[in-house]
Structure 1
Amino acid sequence: QNELDKYRSVIRPATQQAQKQSASTLQGEPRTKRQAISAEPTAFDIQDLSHVTLPFYPKSPQSFHNIRGRILLVFL
């Protein structure tokens, strides 16, 4: 119960503050529903990517293992 009380004491004021800010920026205008946003291409053609070459930056073996270790920490 103590942990919930702490959580509520932080969330409620932050939520009320965000509501006041959004109300003041809208100035009485009704909110419109947002369109869906996607990072995926809508029309994907593999031939458009066949001529693209990505840059290569050589790394020392120590840098390579350091980068690989950090990536594994994040994704595993």
Structure 2
Amino acid sequence: MTRRELEWTVLAALAERSPCYVVDLAAAIDEHPVAVETVCASLRDRGELRSIGYRRYDVTAAGRRQLADGHDDDPV
């Protein structure tokens, strides 16, 4: 899975079951927790996720807009 695909997978998974811990999210999407944590940090830095505690994330309104705008659009 490319990084961009992983970003979309993380956003979509969190939109369905948010907030969520990185380890639970990684298990749900069958990816390594370190890769998921890295992507979550990047999405947080762009404002699409927010951290709500130790390695726990929630989708922001900006993240939901990215999902609504479509998979092919680049964020920011």
> What TM-score, normalized to structure 2?
0.22
Select the structure of larger CA radius of gyration: 1
**Structure (1/2) with the larger strand percentage:** 2
Structure with larger RCO (C-alpha < 8 A, sep 6+): 2
- TM-score (normalizing by structure 1): 0.22
